[in-house]
């Protein structure tokens, strides 16, 4: 339509504006949802982190209990008893034990451990080690939650941008299909050309539908991790060709991983805690001594003889010593159980070490592969664009086969998808390597993986 005709027809101009506004309302503008926002939401919602926070609280409570065991305890006690069937008894002509049916007593006592064979001290050390291990386990859970959020975001980014690429491919194929139909009607193309074009268009549309379903799954995964649905108009960040830094040599990566991984630090602390539990169990074989003091008032007071129906006070203090010389193997069994826990903790450490070794090697290989894929995919996409243009020109001038044009369309769609997938995989691989070597949280931000 001539623009001048539009200016001369106000009603038509109003209709066009109304249509554009309706489309704007139907298709709200895309809002970019950053990777860091998804990570923060996942960390805030993570049930694993809530559980690890409770583990820390529990460990701190045990630590307080162990510390309290080394301090004095004060106990209040009282009783009021009534007896029946009592009779006076005469121990001689001048001593008569009267019948006293009611007995009342109140006391306050203090006890202070003096020597426990190392039990109290080792319980304190073990509780402190457990609290430290719980904090490291929380850090490990935080790193895992961060990585899972970034991985889910990478999957969403791959699917979302693949949709954009495939939508463009469908448009190209649909336009080409229209051209082929017109040429078929003019007798300049065969029925086989038309059929092959329609089949390729259907295949491209099928891939587009699959990408949309993958995006739905990725959105559901993010909702699972964050506890909230991704807004319908949300879109991931543009990868913009970001590459992960080239990994350092394997020895350097493993040194960093074994030094930084919170899971390994927690496992080492658990071994030390288990070893203190062995010493606690062995302490039962040693004598124990306590300082004890007590003030008591009773009616009658059994320490006064002959007993009289009146209130009398007494106060005593001293050292109480105990030594279990035979317990039918109870202590030996507890020591064996604690020793087995030490070995179990060492096995868990070996499991962590093996897993770290595998994760570092896999993540480093994935980073190198993703970076190489990005380089090749970028060149392949540029080559496919030129190849499609050349094949189309040759075919339109009768110098090429239509099958070559279809192959060029398919190749361009494939290379565009591979370029998008390589970028998303590079970001996920970089996040996986950061987690594998226990890098600080700041490095897990995909923005820091940029290279000039």
Non-local CB neighbours of 162 within 8 Å, separated by 6+ positions: 211, 214, 417, 420, 421
More confident residue, 48 or 413: 48
Q: Which two tokens stand for residue 309?
A: 């129906």
Three-state secondary structure of 382-409: HHHHHHHHHHHHHHHCCCCCHHHHHHHH
How does pLDDT run across 265-305, given as a tens digit for each residue? 999 999 999 999 999 999 999 999 999 999 999 988 888 87
Is 36-72+123-287+331-449 assigned to CATH 2.60.120.10? no
How does pLDDT run across 96-125, given as a tens digit for each residue? 677 788 889 999 999 999 999 999 999 999
pLDDT at 24 over 70: no
Helix H or strand E encompassing 249? none
Domain positions in the chain: 36-72+123-287+331-449
pLDDT at 439 over 90: no
When computed from its CA atoms, the radius of gyration of the chain, rounded to whole angstroms, is 40
pLDDT at 328 over 70: yes
Helix H or strand E encompassing 105? strand 102-115
Among 323, 328, 320, CA closest to 293 = 320
Q: Are 336 and 281 in contact (CB under 8 A)?
A: no
Q: What is the pLDDT of residue 240?
A: 67
Average pLDDT (411-427) is 85
Q: What is the pLDDT of residue 242?
A: 67
Average pLDDT (234-238) is 88
pLDDT > 70: percent of the chain = 88
Average pLDDT (245-261) is 91
């Amino acid at each position: 339509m001539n623009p001048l005709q539009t200016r001369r027809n106000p009603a038509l101009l109003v209709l066009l504006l109304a249509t554009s506004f309706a489309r704007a309302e139907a298709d709200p503008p895309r809002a970019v949802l950053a990777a860091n926002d998804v990570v923060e939401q996942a960390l805030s919602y993570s049930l694993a982190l809530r559980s690890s926070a409770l583990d820390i609280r529990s460990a701190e409570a045990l630590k307080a209990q162990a510390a309290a065991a080394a301090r004095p305890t004060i106990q209040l006690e009282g009783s009021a008893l009534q007896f029946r069937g009592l009779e006076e008894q005469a121990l001689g002509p001048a001593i008569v034990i009267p019948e006293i049916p009611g007995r009342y007593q109140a006391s306050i006592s203090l006890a202070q451990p003096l020597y426990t064979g190392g039990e109290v001290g080792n319980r304190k050390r073990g509780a402190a080690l457990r609290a430290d291990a719980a904090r490291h386990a929380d850090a490990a859970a935080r790193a895992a939650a961060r990585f899972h959020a970034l991985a889910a975001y990478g999957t969403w980014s791959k699917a979302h941008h693949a949709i954009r690429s495939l939508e463009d491919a469908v448009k190209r194929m649909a336009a080409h299909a229209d051209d082929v139909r017109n040429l078929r009607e003019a007798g300049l193309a065969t029925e086989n050309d038309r059929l092959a074009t329609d089949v390729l268009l259907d295949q491209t549309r099928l891939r587009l539908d699959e990408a949309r379903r993958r995006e739905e799954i990725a959105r559901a995964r993010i909702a699972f991790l964050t506890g909230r649905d991704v807004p319908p108009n949300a879109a991931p960040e543009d990868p913009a060709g970001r590459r992960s830094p080239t990994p350092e040599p394997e020895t350097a990566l493993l040194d960093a991983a074994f030094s930084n991984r919170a899971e390994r630090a927690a496992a080492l602390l658990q071994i030390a805690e288990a070893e203190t539990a062995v010493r606690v169990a062995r302490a039962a074989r040693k004598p124990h001594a306590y300082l004890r003091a007590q003030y008591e008032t009773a009616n009658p007071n059994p320490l006064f003889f002959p007993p009289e129906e009146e209130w009398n006070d007494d106060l005593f203090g001293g050292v109480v010593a105990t030594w279990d010389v035979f317990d039918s193997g109870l202590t030996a069994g507890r020591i064996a159980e604690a020793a087995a826990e030490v070995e179990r903790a060492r096995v868990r450490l070996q499991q962590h070490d093996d897993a770290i070794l595998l994760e570092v090697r896999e993540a480093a290989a994935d980073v190198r592969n993703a970076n190489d894929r990005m380089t090749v995919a970028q060149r392949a996409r540029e080559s496919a664009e030129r190849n499609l243009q050349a094949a189309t020109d040759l075919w339109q001038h009768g110098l090429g086969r239509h099958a070559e044009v279809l192959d060029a369309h398919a190749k361009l769609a494939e290379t565009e998808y591979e370029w998008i997938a390589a970028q998303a995989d590079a970001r996920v691989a970089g996040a996986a390597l950061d987690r594998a070597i226990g890098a600080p949280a700041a490095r897990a931000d995909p923005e820091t993986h940029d290279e000039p």
